[in-house]
Structure 1
Amino acid sequence: MKKLKHFQNRTKSNLTFMILPNSSEKIIKFSLPKLLSKVIILSLFFVILSSIIFSSGYFGIRHKLIAANNQIAELKLENESQKYEIAELKNYSIKVDEKLADLNKIQNQVLNMVGLDTSNEDTSLPETTDILFSYSYSPNIVSRSAQSNIFSSQGYEEEINLLTELIDREKENMEKLILNVEQQLEYLDALPNLMPNPGRISSPFGYRISPTGRNREFHNGIDISNKLGTDIIAAGSGIVTYSGYNGGYGKVVMISHGYGYTSIYAHNQEILVSVGDQIEKGQVIAKVGSTGRSTGPHVHFEVRLNNEPINPLDLIEN
């Protein structure tokens, strides 16, 4: 019975709270059971603790989100800058590719001029875009510092400018080479170094016993024997400066090749060209005959350099 009373007294014990206003108003006073007061205090403690924990987590997440958004904005700005730099590099590469294409045409022109067939060979130069953009770019793999090095348009611009200067210089050299090759080809085309007839050499260049007498004489050319009427071709390109009959030479054709060279074709049966004709190398100009001072059908082939007779075989063999 005593214990029950003691428990009732404990449950009836209260906590009294007083609210003192600043003014002279009535003091507010109320009482709460001690157990209920403890529950309320603990609840308030847990609410405050939860609020602190939630606030710290919220502000931490918010800070991370702000940092992530700033990083995304920075990456977007960097990507836009890289896109612009890539576009600039592509423009540079297009210009270089155009110059490379011109250089490639000149290269093929030179090869064709010297008789090299380029149809079965790939002589084209690699495009600059293949060189500059042959790597694969991934923002997730390449670090930003590496990206800035890779896409340094200023560095590439300097290299491309240097490359274009080299290409222009090489193009200029190739154009000079073409001019030299053209001059050499013109010279080789004009050089009287073809055998005018496929017959047998019956009399060489130099001193010999005259075929019409017993005197020793100097033979200014070579005699090539063959059947009457066989073709005689021009040993080199040039212009006909004489076409007609000329004493012991009989019917003769004389061609000026330039570079100091002149060729003579004598004892012809028939002449097929006239004075002033532009003759191509290998063109048929006459027929084998035996006109003038001759002992049989042949062509007397004579080459003069600066009006001095030289051995035609020296040109032909070389």
Structure 2
Amino acid sequence: ERKAAARRAAAEQSRQAATGTARPTPGKVPPRVTANAPAPKVGGLGWPLSGNLLARYGGRLPDGRTSNGVLIGAPPGTTVTAVADGTVVFSDWMTGYGMILIVDHGNGYMSLYAHNDTLLRDSGARVRRGEAVARVGNSGGQGVTALYFELRRNGQPVDPGTWLQRQ
């Protein structure tokens, strides 16, 4: 009876290890598992640029804050484009965002393009969807070369992934 119970317990442990459902033994530290999956790719029609999605809407930014937008990793100098027609309402340095450009698209929508190296449009400029507005950098303290993109409706952040996929 004891041998059969021991065999069943060993078989269950093997099954759990194979399926990833093993529970830690009391007093024993389970091995640490590190995810090595590459960051998902984003981009294409409607997005401000293509690159690696480093932080999702509602996720964590490299500095630990919660993201109200998306952080897209890209090589320095990569062109950032407007996601829709509009008017540039801010184009300068802003604490926490670095070199940032904000476009008013009407109907309460605004898009923010932050942590740039270079801003290509001044306040008051009209922009069309797909036009270059900035170049990717790492200004403003994120510590990575990436674009922080945020979409707001009536002053409140909204998930840009949902909006951009409708474009």
Q: State how 1:216-255 maps to structure 2 within 5 Å.
A: 217-255=65-103
Q: CA deviation at 1:293?
A: 1.7
Q: Deviations over 1:57-114 (max 9, x none)?
A: xxxxxxxxxxxxxxxxxxxxxxxxxxxxxxxxxxxxxxxxxxxxxxxxxxxxxxxxxx
More strand by share: 2
Match of 1:308 among 153, 156, 164: 156
The one of 91, 97, 106 equivalent to 1:258 is 106
* Distance (Å, rounded) in 1 between the aligned partners of 2:63 and 2:88: 29
What is the CA–CA distance in structure 1 between the aligned matches of 2:66 and 2:73, rounded to whole Å?
Answer: 19
**Alpha-carbon separation, structure 2, partners of 1:236 and 1:265:** 13
1:298 aligns with 2:159: no
Q: Hey, what's the Cα distance between the residues in 2 that align with 1:231 and 1:277? A: 18
The answer to whether the aligner puts 1:201 opposite 2:49 as a matched pair is: no
CA–CA distance in structure 2, aligned partners of residues 212 and 294 of structure 1: 6
Provide structure 2 residue ranges, at least 5 long, that are not aligned to the other structure: 1-44
Query: What percent of counterpart residues are identical?
Result: 33
**Superposed displacement of residue 308, structure 1:** 0.6
Q: 1:211 aligns with which of 58, 62, 68?
A: 62
Compare CA radii of gyration and give the structure with the larger one.
1
Matched, 1:276 2:124: yes
Superposed displacement of residue 207, structure 1: 4.0
Q: Secondary structure at the match of 2:96?
A: helix
TM-score normalised per structure 1: 0.37
CA distance in 2, matches of 1:291, 1:231: 15
Which one-letter code corresponds to 1:309 in the other structure? P
Alpha-carbon distance in structure 1 between the residues aligned to 2:119 and 2:59: 29
In structure 1, the gaps of 5 or more residues are 1-192
CA contact (8 A) 2:46 2:165 kept: no
* TM-score for the superposition, normalised by structure 2: 0.70
**Higher RCO by CA contacts (8 Å cutoff, separation 6 or greater):** 2
Instruction: Summarize deviations over 1:228-264 as a string: whole Å, max 9, x none.
Output: 0010000001000000000110000000000110000
Q: CA deviation at 1:212?
A: 2.4
The within-5 A match list for 1:1-318 is 194-208=46-60, 210-213=61-64, 217-318=65-166
In 2, the alpha carbon distance for the partners of 1:241 and 1:301 equals: 16
Runs of 4+ in 1 over 3 A off after TM superposition: none
Displacement of 1:200: 1.2
C-alpha deviation, 1:268, in angstroms? 0.3
